[in-house]
């Protein structure tokens, strides 16, 4: 028996030989199975010890230093930047600087211009002098890449707040956008939820064009300080880019003649939209970017910092701060307790923890309490669909997501709860909601239905990240797996999702990963889903996936994939330093495909066991999560724990679910 965080006890998987009895890291001495059992035991104990008393798990969500830089810029703009916060943020930002003076957007990645500009400005705010060696190296690199003028729009918006860039040289974003009905192109619901929540407050900022006195000049970041933004040639008028560039020029002229009453009314309507979507914890959407822009927008409309909306908004941003032992302060872009908790629950049950273990029941209770039972913005497209989903974060009732809902259902189904009827009712609502969120092509996006308009990505304003939410293979696979477990493999809606997945398989046998890096994540999601739905391991689509995974296994036995596969799939697909989470994804696919006794699986299990730390955890500096492919990457600190445990547990205990063969499906 092992002690849990709440003082209860629960059985762990069957005991293997202890470290004193045999060398548990030597597969030759003990056999791969025994090594895997020992790794499962250690990992299980580690994960159980990390559960919060309320029942949830949450790992740090690490992105890049733009979160920290923009937090300082926000506080400077509002006049509330204090020395202690600036010092702690600067300590973290300096620690992330690369040898060449730059900052990257992910671990091991190349220097990134906009990230480097924002980090540099933040350090100036914290008191670092421009002639300090680390600052001079950064500014020289920035100038060599085109200076501030070459940075993305969002970076230049932050600089415009202090007069370091001209508002006239930024794309126009009129607040009257709030009045566009949903059938008009470029209405706010044409954008993905994360973009929508950011754009609405930015329309107010764009209309107001505020400038606070700059505490210092930034001439050293321009290639030519006297002419920082020379005119750029327009794309051909017949092209989409050219058309939208000319539309932006027309909007710049239009702002001079828009009736003041109309503009004021539009900004007030946008403010109401923002305030209506503030969550109970004060945040917006559970993510940092909409929160900072919403605070700025409302401040510009006269909301003082002691107004309840503002006070709670700022307090919510403080909760995104992670304080490290050295005194550094890292700001999370988001927090992922629902996602982490359902994945941890799945991992522990698959690893052999009893389904009625007190900590698993507590996790199920917490997840049940997080179900969202009121409509959100998704209801704009599905007004008749009853609610019943789960969000990613602690508080995000407006935007439950399809991926979390599928995984929560899979997690709840694994737990033996004392109130099974309550669990069944919640699962029934989640299944119904996910089915109702199916897009017309048969697949599923993350947050919205048919969020596939081609126009938002064309706007000059949208030069960073994804602004729409089309269906993806990984989300669709998780829904299909969930539906299969619920006995709906033969449901026409499930079969449409399966047909879409088969059609999306890459020629090499892999699947693209939208929310995880990248083809390993996509493949690791789809193969278990197809098998759960009844596909035999001999199916051609699965055999192609197995062959691809075997072909990209690293010499050390693990798997890894660099984020550069999003830009250059031919060169980087399935290639990169081995990581615990990506090795686990590959193993989950291979095990589902019936490859348990293969040499590839054996070597993968050996790699996970050999790289496990003494406390049962794994180290993983690499970013294997995806916010926006290439542009915004995430290191989920719990991924390195939950996915290896899931893979090793399935190796030791077998696949968690079995299914009857599915009738022949088109494709493959």
pLDDT digits (tens, 9 = 90+) for 556-570: 999 999 999 999 999
Residue 657: what pLDDT? 67
Element (H, E) at 295: helix 288-300
In three-state secondary structure terms, 321 is: strand
Q: How many CA atoms lie within 13 A of 469 on its CB side?
A: 28
* Lookup: tokens for 201: 């407050």
Q: Which residues pair with 2 in a beta bridge?
A: 10
Question: How many other C-beta atoms can be found within 10 angstroms of the C-beta atom of residue 54?
Answer: 13
Q: Which of 471, 520, 469, 550 is nearest to 625 (CA)?
A: 520
User: Where in the chain are the domains?
Assistant: 2-59+336-454+466-653, 63-331
Distance (Å, rounded) from C-alpha 552 to C-alpha 78? 50
In terms of Cα–Cα distance, which of 131, 152, 146, 150 is closest to 223? 146
Structure confidence at residue 465 as a pLDDT band (50, 70, 90): confident
pLDDT at 466: 87
Max CA distance (Å), the chain: 83
Q: Residue 296: pLDDT above 90?
A: yes
CA distance 349 to 151: 47
Q: Give the DSSP H or E segment for 84.
A: helix 83-95
Sign of CA pseudo-dihedral 96, 100, 101, 105:
negative
> What are the structure tokens assigned to 335, written together?
């927090």
Predicted confidence at residue 253, as pLDDT, reads 84
pTM of the model: 0.91
The backbone torsions φ and ψ at residue 223, rounded to the nearest 5 degrees and listed phi first, read: -70, -30
User: pLDDT tens digit string along 128-141?
Assistant: 999 999 999 999 99
Joined tokens for residue 442:
């048969």
**Which tokens belong to 489?**
């493999």
Q: What is the CA radius of gyration of the chain?
A: 25
In the prediction, which pLDDT does 614 show? 96
Indicate the pLDDT class of residue 187, thresholds 50, 70 and 90: very high
Its CATH class, for the domain covering 2-59+336-454+466-653, is: mainly alpha
- Which of the four pLDDT bands, split at 50, 70 and 90, describes residue 524? very high
pLDDT band at 661 (very low <50, low <70, confident <90, very high): very low
Q: Which residue's structure tokens are 């190349």?
A: 110
pLDDT at position 2 over 50: no
Is 403 an annotated catalytic residue?
yes
Rounded alpha-carbon distances, angstroms, from residue 142 to 100, 137, 161, 216, 466: 11, 9, 20, 18, 25
Question: Is pLDDT above 60 for 10?
Answer: no
Q: How distant, in Å, are the alpha carbons of 109, 384, 558, 617 from that of 581? A: 18, 39, 10, 12
User: Of the residues 401, 403, 448, 474, which is catalytic?
Assistant: 403
**For residue range 47-78, what is the model confidence (pLDDT) as tens digits?**
999 999 999 999 999 999 999 999 999 999 99
| Percentage with pLDDT > 70 across the chain | 94
* Topology, domain 63-331: Glycosyltransferase (1.50.10)
From the CB of residue 100, how many other CB atoms can be counted at a distance below 10 Å? 13
SS3 (DSSP) at 325: coil
Q: How confident is the model at residue 30 (pLDDT cuts 50, 70, 90)?
A: low
Residue 666 burial (10 A CB sphere; 0-12, 13-18, 19+): exposed
Contact 378, 445 (CB under 8 A): no
**Shortest CA distance to 254 belongs to which of 159, 177, 330?**
177
d(CA 200, CA 293): 9
């Amino acid at each position: 028996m092992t002690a849990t965080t709440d003082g209860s006890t629960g059985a762990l998987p069957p005991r293997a030989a202890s470290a004193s009895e045999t060398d548990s890291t030597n597969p030759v001495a003990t056999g791969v199975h025994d090594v895997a059992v020992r790794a499962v035991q250690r990992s299980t104990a580690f994960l159980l010890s990390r559960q919060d008393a309320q029942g949830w798990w949450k790992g740090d969500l690490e992105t890049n230093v733009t979160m920290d830089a923009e937090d300082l810029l926000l506080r400077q703009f509002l006049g509330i930047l204090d020395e202690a916060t600036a010092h702690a943020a600067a300590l973290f930002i300096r620690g992330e600087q690369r040898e060449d003076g730059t900052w990257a957007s992910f671990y091991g990645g190349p220097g990134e211009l906009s990230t480097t500009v924002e980090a540099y400005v933040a350090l100036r705010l914290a008191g670092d002098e421009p002639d300090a060696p680390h600052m001079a190296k950064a500014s020289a690199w920035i100038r060599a890449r085109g200076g501030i003028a070459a940075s993305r729009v969002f970076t230049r918006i932050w600089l415009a707040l202090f007069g370091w860039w001209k508002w006239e040289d930024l794309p126009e974003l009129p607040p009257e956008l709030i009045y566009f009905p949903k059938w008009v192109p470029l209405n706010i619901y044409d954008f993905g939820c994360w973009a929508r929540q950011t754009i609405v407050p930015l329309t107010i900022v764009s209309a107001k064009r505020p400038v606070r006195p700059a505490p210092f000049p930034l001439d050293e970041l321009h290639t030519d300080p006297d002419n920082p933004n020379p005119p750029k040639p327009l794309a051909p008028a017949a092209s989409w880019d050219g058309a939208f560039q000319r539309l932006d020029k027309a909007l710049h002229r239009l702002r001079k003649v828009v009736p003041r009453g109309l503009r004021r009314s539009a900004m007030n309507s946008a403010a109401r939209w923002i305030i209506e979507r503030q969550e109970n914890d004060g945040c917006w959407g559970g993510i940092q970017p909409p929160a900072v822009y919403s605070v700025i927008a409302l401040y510009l409309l006269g909301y003082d910092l002691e107004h309840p909306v503002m006070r709670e908004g700022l307090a919510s941003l403080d909760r995104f701060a992670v304080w490290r032992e050295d005194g550094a302060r890292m700001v999370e872009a988001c927090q992922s307790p629902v996602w982490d908790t359902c994945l941890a629950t799945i991992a522990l049950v698959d690893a052999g923890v009893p389904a009625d273990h007190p900590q698993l029941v507590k996790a199920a209770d917490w997840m049940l309490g997080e179900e969202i039972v009121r409509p959100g913005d998704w209801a704009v497209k599905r007004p008749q669909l009853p609610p019943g989903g789960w969000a990613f974060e602690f508080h995000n009732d407006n935007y439950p997501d399809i991926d979390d809902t599928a995984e929560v259902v899979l997690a709840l189904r694994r737990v033996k709860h004392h109130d099974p009827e309550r669990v069944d009712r919640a699962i029934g609502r989640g299944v119904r909601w996910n089915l109702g969120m199916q897009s017309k092509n048969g697949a599923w996006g993350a947050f919205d239905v048919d969020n596939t308009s081609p126009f938002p990505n064309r706007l000059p304003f949208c030069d960073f990240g994804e602004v729409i939410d089309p269906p993806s293979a990984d989300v669709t696979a998780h829904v299909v797996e969930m539906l299969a477990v619920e006995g709906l493999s033969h449901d026409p809606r499930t079969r449409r999702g399966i047909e879409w997945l088969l059609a999306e398989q890459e020629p090499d046998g892999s699947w693209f990963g939208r929310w995880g890096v990248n083809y390993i994540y996509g493949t690791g999601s789809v193969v278990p889903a197809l098998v759960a739905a009844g596909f035999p391991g001999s199916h051609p689509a699965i055999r192609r996936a197995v062959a691809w995974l075997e072909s990209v296994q690293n010499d050390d036995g693990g798997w890894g994939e660099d984020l550069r596969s999003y830009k250059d799939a031919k060169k980087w697909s399935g290639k990169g330093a081995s990581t615990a989470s990506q090795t686990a994804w590959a193993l989950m696919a291979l095990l589902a495909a019936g490859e348990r006794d293969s040499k590839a699986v054996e070597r993968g299990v050996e790699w996970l066991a050999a790289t496990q730390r003494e406390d049962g955890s794994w180290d993983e500096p690499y970013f294997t999560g995806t916010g926006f492919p290439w542009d915004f990457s995430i290191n989920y600190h719990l991924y390195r724990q939950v996915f290896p445990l899931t893979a090793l547990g399935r190796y030791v205990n077998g696949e968690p679910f079995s299914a009857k063969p599915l009738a022949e499906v088109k494709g493959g």
